[in-house]
Each structure stands twice: as structure tokens, then as C-alpha cells.
Amino acid sequence: MDSFQPIPPRPSPVRTEGAVPWIRRNLFGDPVSAVVTLLLFGAFAWWLPGFVDWAALQAVFAPDADRCQAARGIGACWGVITEKHRLIIFGRYPFDEQWRPQIATIVLVSLLVASCVRLFWKPWLALLWVVVLALFFALMHGGVAGLSVVTTDRWGGLPLTIMLATLSIVLAFPLSVMVALGRRSKMPAIRTICVIYVELIRGVPLISVLFMASFMFPLFMPPGTSIDVLLRVLVGITLFAAAYMAEIVRGGLQAIPKGQQEAADTLGLGYWQTQRKIILPQALSLVVPGIMNNFISIFKDTSLVTIVSLYELTGAMGLALNSDANWRPFKIEAYLFIAGVYFIFCFAMSRYSLWVEKQLSASKNR
Amino acid sequence: MTARAAPKAKRDWSLRSRAVRALLYQVIALGLIVAAVWFLAHNTMENMRVRGIQSGFDFLAQPAGFDIGEMPVAYDALDPYWKAFGIGVLNTLRVAIIGIVLTTVIGTLVGIGRFSPNALVRGLCYGYVELFRNVPILLQLLMWYLLLTEWLPDPGEPLSAFGLFFLSKGGFTFPVPVWGEAQAYAGIGILLGIALAWGWSRWVKVRFDRTGHRLPVALPALLLVIGGAVLGWLAGGAPNAWNVPVAGDVSVDGGSALTPEFLSVLFGLVFYTASFVAEVVRAGIQSVPRGQVEAANAIGLSRGQQMRLVVLPQALRVIIPPITNQYLNLTKNSSLAVAIGYPDVVSISNTAINQTGRAVECIAIIMLVYLTTSLATSAIMNWYNQRAAIKER
Amino acid sequence: MTHATAKTLITGALAAASMALVALPAQAGKTIDAIKARGQLVCGVNTGLAGFSVADSQGNWSGLDVDVCKAIAASLLGDANKIKYVPLNAQQRFTALQSGEVDILSRNTTWTLTRDASLGMHFTGVTYYDGQGFMVPAKGKIKSAKQLKGATVCVQSGTTTEKNLTDYSRANALAIKPVVFEKVEAATGAYFAGRCQAYTTDASGLASVRNKEAKVPADHLILPELISKEPLGPAVRRGDDEFFAIAKWVVFALVEAEEYGITQANVDQQKTSTDPVVQRILGTTEDTGKLLGLDKDWAYRAIKATGNYGEIFERNVGPKSALGLPRGVNNLWNKGGIMYAPPVR
């Protein structure tokens, strides 16, 4: 027998985990990809330092209009935010009383965040909602506990945005459930009414609904009555949100297997008992992501009330800068600030919506 | 035992019968709605009578009395109100149609880009979608308008190319042919060319089914359309009159312009809606079973061919209903142009309300315009949906 | 659904329906009664036009239109501060007045036939004779309105400005291209950004905008041509003649006061004057207030609160104020202007 001849060692396995393999696979996978990576990198390297320079390094943070003017084109003027942030965030609310909308907003946002956390999904949450909303209005409007009255035309900025979005969704929800049920009802008259409502509202832009609310609502009321502008706008946005949510809820209702309805009938449950105990709980848990999406879009759509002269965030910014010639050239920084505020809120909400979706689908994928 | 005849069904008129209850609820619901509508209408009439406000649609025939900044067709201040509204509708459609085309292109590209093998491209597409989705459209429109009016050169010193194209705060000005008979014939020629091109593509398909040979489609179709235009132009006498812009003292005169208002509405709407379309396309592509992609790989199709021939046609089923929604949203969002001075139908209706005081009638007209556009778009997309639906055996 | 539940439902629904049918619109209350019951005059003003109606950061309103409201409140309620100011933009102003949201619209509104006849309002008089003009950058080549051929002009929608611009453009074959904005801030913003060659509104508005919003006011030139007549004045709703009369005559009293030398400073002393006209205005001899439904000190209170018309003008828009507008055509009829008040007697 010949002596043992070892075969040459095989090459070690190629690493597929780790940073370098990842870069090789994802950035330089094939020639086209490599070229694209190089081009994009080059573009970034050319643009990014300039942007960072403008936005941070050379930027003027002090509320000094002259320094800002001197730094025009070289550095961003974040001083406009330092100077005007109270006017932008709180609108025309009286200066001395701005602690009130501050507290009111914090309380309302905390409530919204708390309602998102599983820990708080208890029956007393509903009571908490009522209490917090009452507290919000008491703080904003005043007239109780020695607080001075501030009429609704002075409300503005971030508190107004959050309040309009929250209140319109909360009010639109029961209405949308009714309309969705009505649309699936067997009674032709009720079905037709619901269809007409939904298709009419969904077919027109929100701005025309707001115009209708602000121009025509007063004509619809008996002569001599006058309705608060905020109330009119709230009614308009609520009707708008309800139409879209009705479609989402209807989608959820359609996804419930017919067997559930038949089983409920077998047990002898009436229509409203079936809906309340069997159908709606299942349907609504299906549509929570859709409702979150609707909330995000209504939150963004509140920026439209600036066209009917309620000064929410976008309008308050216009108000703050347009009448002040010293700061008007720095509108772009103010726009970026407000865009950032909206982005933070909406991005957080969309991340939450994804989390909720995962939670709900986890229970389905056993 | 002889079978007895079934007893006649007795009509049960008591409240125990479901049919009777249903009838009752509907009557009550209808009654409430009618009462509410009567209440509102009565109040409105009463208010208008007490205040002396006129009503009626007769104002549509009266001269408008105001100029409009952007006119796709000729319009004079003495033309009646209905013509002014028509110009508004044309402006809205102009921005909506071009917007829908651009949105589809950009949205599809970004949506496909989310699946690119290159991580940078994936990251960029994700960043684009999140950035543009989470900022309100009104804010985006205002920012685009600010950028365009700040950074474009003064109208007195425009940037020019070849002495024919100018870029200034007045917009992008370019020469247009003077509209006359020949151009109308050219238009008819284009329509004929499109019809012939469609016929050619059908014939190519038939021939392919019969013989397996595929003739080119795109190039002959293009040639047919261009040929139709040229023939029409020749038939009209081949006029050569152009409306050429000239840089004047204070502004660029003549030619036709894409104004900053139009451009900012267009860009704002396109980039905003494209982010939603990208998400819709992504969801559609994800809905195609992975087995399809693996099978396409197995028969050797390249990535581009996979996307074009296998994935996208199947994804279309899932994409079309939500994308219809986005098209409708784009059309409705174009109403925000009123905030930056683009004369769309809402802006013109506002002017009409202020000049005639007929708020109810003008708002009714706006709602009618948008409802019609929505229904038309939905109908077209439904027809396309039927065609794209995969006919399963 | 049980029998009993159904019956309850039906009864409830019928009750609701009958209430809806019975709730006919209430009788339109008289404006004066409403004001007195409320204890406040609700005055529709501009959202912020320096010299006419503008609020400072503390929320205190000042301006010519504001002073007119103060005078009426002083006459009617006895206190010039019992006013609620409702800022209105150009689109909302008429519907706000029509719907009853405001009692009087004192918002630099032009008196035209259409507005008087078809919008359900009555103009009480003219407080400022104005005209529409143009503002252009001073270092441009345009020095006269006739040079605006083919120019783009920024204008706000919802005002007479659009129509006047069109008329002027047609009359002089200028082919002006208007860029129409919903909000006045957008229009002025676009002009100052350089989008348009000119900005057009009432000449007083141009002075106000130039003073307040231009970085260097001297960089902007207000062209000499006035292309339209814009008589600005307060308006009230149709159908209430008593309030219409009061609003009208308070302004006339202010003009008469200037004509006869009654000022805010000397009005107390003038109560002892022997001039019969002064005595009638201030109510020392005749009680003209009774005929209007007020007491005899109605004009005295108005003048004490705001001063006479000349003082109001000087304080808000006059040559020494920030706007620096000349008295011009707004002077008294016997001093070269056309302010002529019918006699308060």
C-alpha cells in the first residue's frame, strides 16, 4: 500500500455574513449596480458637505435678523425659528396665556400616546378620554377657574391641528360605522342614502367641503343664529373623514365570513346584538391599520383649514412671516421647520400603524 | 290521504314581521332626510330673501369681466361666466392629466426601485417615499412655489437657449405655432394616425399568432402618428407662422409659457402622489407569488424581462384599484392650486362668487365638475381593470 | 327586535320629526336689540391692513375702520371698548355680514352697485375716497401705468381689483397677465419675490403694504395713475333701517365735528359753546339722538372716543402717520376735498 497522500485542502467557505460580504452583495452585486453605487456616492459626496455646511455649521441660531441677512446663501437662518416659534406653534393665542395651549397640547398628545399602548386598553380609557377632552377645552377656552376667555378665532398653531384631527376622527368613527352598516343593509332606501353620502363626499375635494362649511353653513341655519367658525370647520372635516372611514369599515365587514352571521342567526341573536357582539369586534380589529392611515391623512389635511382662515400650523407660519419684512426672506427655513414637525408626527404614526398590523397579524399566523 | 293544498300565506301586517319593520324604518329614515332637507332649503330661501341675495344660474350668461392669467384657449374678459368656468376646467384637466402620466411613471420607477439589488437605490426609494408621504400637500405646494419664484432669474434677465427658449420667473417660455386651419387638420391627422397605429398593432398580434413572427410595433406606430400630423399640416397649406418669444424690457413677450404656478402645482402633486403610487406598486409586486419569479429565473429571463413580462402584468390586478384612488386624489388635490395663484376651476369659482355673490350656485358647479371627473376617471380605470384582469381557466 | 323596542323607536322618531317640522326659522331680530342684549358691537375688520384695521401683538386693534366702529359703539353702547373684532378676509366678508356673524362690516370695502343691490347689504357712507393703483420696483424701467404692456401683475381674488385691472388693461390695450392669489399675503409675497412686475390694490393699501412689508420702502414706487374710483365705507345688513341710520349718522357727525372745530380734546369745553350748530351736534339744545333711538349725548360720546374725522385720518393714515398719505380728496368740502356731511339737525 502506498503512503497516505493527502488531497490538497479545499478553499475555506466564502463568508456570507459580515459587513464586507453585505457590501459586495448589495452595493457591487453586478456591474450596473456597481456603477450606480459609484454615481450615487459621488453625488452624495458632492452635495452632502455643502448641505451640512449650510444647515448646521454656518447656520445662524440667534434671533438676529441682521446676522441672518449677512449669512444669506451661506448659512441657514434658524434664528427665524428662535424668534417666531411661539407665534408659529400657538398662532394668535394671547401671548401671556400661552401656557394654557401648551399644557392642553401636552395632555392631549399624552392621551393619544397612552391610547396606543396595550397597557392602557382598559374600560376606564373611555372615561379618561372624556375627562381629557373636557380639560382641553376648559384650558383653551377659559371661562372656568378664573381663566380668561379666549374665543375660538384666536386658537391656532399646533394645538388647533391636533385638536381638529383628533376630534374629527373620534366623532367620525361612530358615524362611519353606521354608514358602513347602512350600506350593507338590505333596505334599499337606507342603502341608497348611505351610497349617495359616501360617493358625494368622496368625489369632491376637501377644500370644497370646507368652502361649503364656511360659506353656506350660515345660510342653512335659521336667520339670526350664528355658528362658530371652528364648529363649522369641524363638522366639515368630520363628514369628510366619516365618508372615507365608512369605506374602510365596509372593507372590514366584507372580510368577515358569512358563517359568522349565519351562526349568530342560529343562536337567535337579533341584528343589533349580532353586530355588537360578533361582527363589529372582528371587523374593527381588521381595519385598525386602515383607520390609522385615515388618521394620518386627516392630520395632514388639517393644513387646509388655513384657506378658510383658521390659523393652524401652516397658516400661523404665513401669519408670522408675511407681515414682518425683516424675517420674510427666511421663509424656506420656517417651511423646513414645519415640514419637520409634520414629518415627525406622521412618521411616528405610520410606524405605529405598522406595529399594530404586525400585532394583529401575529394572532392570525399561529 | 289526499294532500291538502298549502294554506294561503297570510300577509302579516304586525310589527313582528321583518318585512314590515324594514318598510317602517325606511319610511322613517326617508322622512327624516326629507324633513332635514326641507328645513335646510327653507332656511336658505328665507335667509336669501331677507338679505336680498339673488339666486339662480342666469349669471352664467353674463360677461365675466375678469382676465385669467393662463388660457389654454382664447378668452376675453367680455366672455360669459360659463366660458370662464370652462377655462378653469381646462386648466384643472391640464394639470391632472399631465400629473397622472408623470405620477405613474415616477411612482412605478420608485416602486420597482424598492426591489433593486442595490442597497443605496433601495434606501433612496424608501427615503423618498417616507419623506414625501409624511408632509402635507399644501406645504409641499407652497415650498415648490417659493423655490421656483426665488431661484428663477428675473424676467428682465432670463436664461435663454438658442434665443428661442427662455427660463425666468415668468416661467419656461417656448415658441408655439400659430393655431390655424393647418394645425386643426394636423390634429385630425394625429387622431387618424393613432387609429391606424392601433390597427397595425392588432394586425401584428394576429400575424404573430398565425406565423410566430413578431413585426416591430413601436416604430411604425410612431411613424404613422407623425405621418398623419405632417399630412394634415400639408393639407392645410403648410403655414410656417410661429409665435416666438422675445426677451423684452421687463419680461419675455410672446410664445407660450409654463408658468411657475403651473410648474409648482405639477411638481408638488406629482412628487406627493408618486410616493403613494410607489407604495401601491410595491404592494402589488409583493403580492405576486414568489414562485413566479423563481420560474422566470429558471427559464433564464433577465431581471428586466422578469419585471416587464411576468411580475408587472400580474401585479396590475392588485395595483389598479388603489392607483385609481390615487389618480382621483391627484385630481382633487389640484384644487389646492388656489393657494398659489394657478387659475383652476376653484380659483375662478372664487372670483365668480365674489363678483356675483352666488355662493351656493358656484360651489354646486365646483362639486359637479369634480364629481364628473371622478366618475369619468373611475369608469376608465374600471374598463382597464376588466381588460387587465387575468382570465383564469 | 321586540315589539316594545320597535314602538319606542317609532314614537321617538315621530317626535323628532315633528320637532324638526315645527322649528321654523325665528323672526330676524333687530340688530340693535341684539347688540344691546349682547353688550357688544361685533365689527368685521381686515385681518391686518396697516392704517385701516390691524392688531398689535397684544391684540389691540387700531386703524381708520376700527375707529369708525369705536365711534358707533360709543354712541350706541356708551363704551368704545365694548367691541368684538372679527378679522375677515376678502372672501368671507360678505357672507359674514349676510349671515349675521358681524353687525357691521368696516373693512375698507368699496361701495359698488353690485354690492349695494345684490348682496343684501347697505353702505352707510364713504369714510375714505380711494383709487386703485400699481406698485412697481423703483429701479425697474416702468414709471407709468401705461408702460405695463404684457406685464404680469399680482392681485388678490375676491376684490374689485381684479375687475378694474381687466377694464384698465382692455381700455389701454395692455394685455396684462394677472396672477390671482387667494390670500393677500401670497400676492404680496409673490410680488416681493419678483414673480410679478407689479402689485395692484387700492392706493392706501399699497402705501400700507409698502410701509409694512417692504424691506426698504424706498425701493418700491407707487405709480401716479389711479385707475379706478374706490370709495371705501362701512356696510350693514339690509332690512334694519334703525341701525343703518345710526351707523350713517355717527360718521356724518364726526365729519361735521371737524367742520365746526370740535376735537377730542375740546369736546367737553365745546359743550358750553354758544354756536347753535355745535350745540345741536353735542345735544346741548336739541335731542337729535331721540330720533335715532339713542340719547342726546350720542355724538358727544362718539367724538370723545375717537376724535373728529380729521383726527381719525391724521392718526391712522395721515401725512404724519406711518402710511404718510396726503389728505387730498378726503379733505372737507370747504378745504378742497369732497367730504361733505349732511347737517346733524
Q: Measured between CA atoms, how close is B245 to chain A, in angstroms?
A: 31
C24 chain-A contacts, CB cut-off 8 A: 222
Task: Supply the pLDDT for residue C23.
Answer: 34
Could you identify the residue written with the cell 449677512? A70
* Residue B191 contacts A where some CB pair is shorter than 8 Å: no
Q: Rounded to the nearest 5°, which phi and psi values hold at C324? A: 65, 40
- Find the mean pLDDT for residues C2-26: 43
Neighbours of chain B (3+ CB pairs under 8 A): A, C
Task: With a cut of 70, say whether residue C19 has pLDDT above it.
Answer: no
**Which B residues 242-281 touch A at CB under 8 Å?**
none
Task: Supply the pLDDT for residue B393.
Answer: 52
Task: With a cut of 70, say whether residue A363 has pLDDT above it.
Answer: no
B120 chain-A contacts, CB cut-off 8 A: 27, 36-37, 40-41
Contact C101 A226 (CB under 8 A): yes
Which has the minimum average pLDDT: A71-85, A187-201, C267-281? Answer: A71-85
Task: With a cut of 50, say whether residue C4 has pLDDT above it.
Answer: no
Task: Supply the pLDDT for residue C25.
Answer: 30
Which has the minimum average pLDDT: A208-212, A325-329, B341-345? Answer: A325-329
Task: With a cut of 80, say whether residue A214 has pLDDT above it.
Answer: no
Neighbours of chain C (3+ CB pairs under 8 A): A, B
> Among A219, A309, A318, whose Cβ lies nearest the Cβ of C99?
A219
- Find the mean pLDDT for residues C99-122: 86
Q: What is the ipTM of this complex?
A: 0.84
* Residue B346 contacts A where some CB pair is shorter than 8 Å: yes
Task: Supply the pLDDT for residue C124.
Answer: 93
Q: Which of B16, B26, B141 to mutate to test the interface with A (most CBs of A within 10 A)?
A: B26
- Find the mean pLDDT for residues A181-196: 88
> Model confidence at C151, in pLDDT bands (50, 70, 90)?
confident
Q: Which of B33, B66, B172 to mutate to test the interface with C (most CBs of C within 10 A)?
A: B66
Q: For A151-173, what is each residue's pLDDT tens digit?
A: 777 888 899 999 999 999 999 99
Contact C189 A226 (CB under 8 A): no
Contact A303 B139 (CB under 8 A): yes
Q: Measured between CA atoms, how close is A148 to chain B, in angstroms?
A: 33
Other Cβ atoms within 10 Å of A188 Cβ, number: 10
Task: Supply the pLDDT for residue A298.
Answer: 92
Task: Supply the pLDDT for residue B51.
Answer: 65
> Model confidence at C69, in pLDDT bands (50, 70, 90)?
very high
> Among C95, C185, C215, whose Cβ lies nearest the Cβ of A215?
C95
Nearest Cα to Cα of residue B266 among B109, B101, B112: B101
> Among C1, C6, C17, whose Cβ lies nearest the Cβ of B31?
C17
Q: For B195-240, what is each residue's pLDDT tens digit?
A: 999 999 899 989 988 998 888 888 888 988 888 888 888 888 777 7
* Residue A271 contacts C where some CB pair is shorter than 8 Å: yes
**Which A residues 138-157 touch C at CB under 8 Å?**
151, 153-154
Could you identify the residue written with the cell 417659493? B146
Q: Measured between CA atoms, how close is A108 to chain C, in angstroms?
A: 27
C98 chain-A contacts, CB cut-off 8 A: 218-219
The DSSP line for A142-159 is --STTPPP--GGG--HHH
Task: With a cut of 60, say whether residue C16 has pLDDT above it.
Answer: no
A338 chain-B contacts, CB cut-off 8 A: 139
Q: Which of A155, A309, A326, A327 to mutate to test the interface with C (most CBs of C within 10 A)?
A: A309
Q: Measured between CA atoms, how close is B54 to chain C, in angstroms?
A: 6
Q: Report d(CA A157, CA A89) in Å as an integer.
A: 5
A190 chain-B contacts, CB cut-off 8 A: 25-26, 29
Task: Supply the pLDDT for residue C210.
Answer: 86
Task: Supply the pLDDT for residue B169.
Answer: 83
**b/e for B329-359, b at 16 or more Cβ within 10 A?**
bbbbbbbbbbbbbbbbbbbbbbbbbbbbbbb
Task: With a cut of 70, say whether residue A364 has pLDDT above it.
Answer: no
- Find the mean pLDDT for residues A255-279: 90
Contact A218 C98 (CB under 8 A): yes
Dihedral (CA of A238, A239, A244, A250) sign? positive
Q: Report d(CA B113, CA B123) in Å as an integer.
A: 9
- Residue type at position B173: T
Residue ranges for chain B with pLDDT beneath 70: 1, 12, 50-53, 249, 389-393
Q: For C201-234, what is each residue's pLDDT tens digit?
A: 988 889 888 887 777 888 898 888 888 999 999 9
> Among A33, A222, A339, whose Cβ lies nearest the Cβ of B117?
A33
Task: With a cut of 80, say whether residue A132 has pLDDT above it.
Answer: yes
More confident residue, B213 or A324: B213
C238 chain-A contacts, CB cut-off 8 A: none
Contact A328 C58 (CB under 8 A): no
Q: For A77-112, what is each residue's pLDDT tens digit?
A: 888 888 888 888 888 888 888 888 889 999 999 998
Q: Environment class of residue B301 by beta-carbon count within 10 Å: exposed (0-12), middle (13-18) or buried (19+)? A: middle
B112 chain-A contacts, CB cut-off 8 A: none
Task: Supply the pLDDT for residue C27.
Answer: 30
Task: With a cut of 70, say whether residue C282 has pLDDT above it.
Answer: yes
Could you identify the residue written with the cell 397595425? B200
Provide the mean pLDDT of chain C: 83
> Among A218, A307, A325, whose Cβ lies nearest the Cβ of C101?
A218
Contact A318 C188 (CB under 8 A): no
Q: Report d(CA A97, CA C11) in Å as an integer.
A: 49
Q: For B340-361, what is each residue's pLDDT tens digit?
A: 889 999 989 888 887 777 778 8
Task: Supply the pLDDT for residue C24.
Answer: 30
Task: Supply the pLDDT for residue A171.
Answer: 93
Task: With a cut of 60, say whether residue C18 has pLDDT above it.
Answer: no
A26 chain-B contacts, CB cut-off 8 A: 117-119
Task: Supply the pLDDT for residue A95.
Answer: 81
B43 chain-C contacts, CB cut-off 8 A: 25
CA distances from C307 to A24, A114, A138, A235, B389 (A): 83, 58, 40, 44, 79
More confident residue, C158 or C163: C163
Per-residue three-class SS string for chain B = CCCCCCCCCCCCCCCCCHHHHHHHHHHHHHHHHHHHHHHHHHHHHHHHHHHCECCCCHHHHCECCCCCCCCCCCCCCCCEHHHHHHHHHHHHHHHHHHHHHHHHHHHHHHHHHCCCCCHHHHHHHHHHHHHHHCCCHHHHHHHHHHHHHHHCCCCCCCEEECCCEEEECCEEEECEECCCHHHHHHHHHHHHHHHHHHHHHHHHHHHHHHHCCCCCCHHHHHHHHHHHHHHHHHHCCCCCCEECCEECCCCEECCEEECHHHHHHHHHHHHHHHHHHHHHHHHHHHHCCHHHHHHHHHCCCCHHHHHHHHHHHHHHHHHHHHHHHHHHHHHHHHHHHHHCCCCCHHHHHHHHHHHHCCHHHHHHHHHHHHHHHHHHHHHHHHHHHHHHCCCCC
Task: Supply the pLDDT for residue C63.
Answer: 92
- pTM to 2 decimal places: 0.82
Task: Supply the pLDDT for residue B392.
Answer: 57
∠ Cα A346 A200 B138 (to 5°)? 35
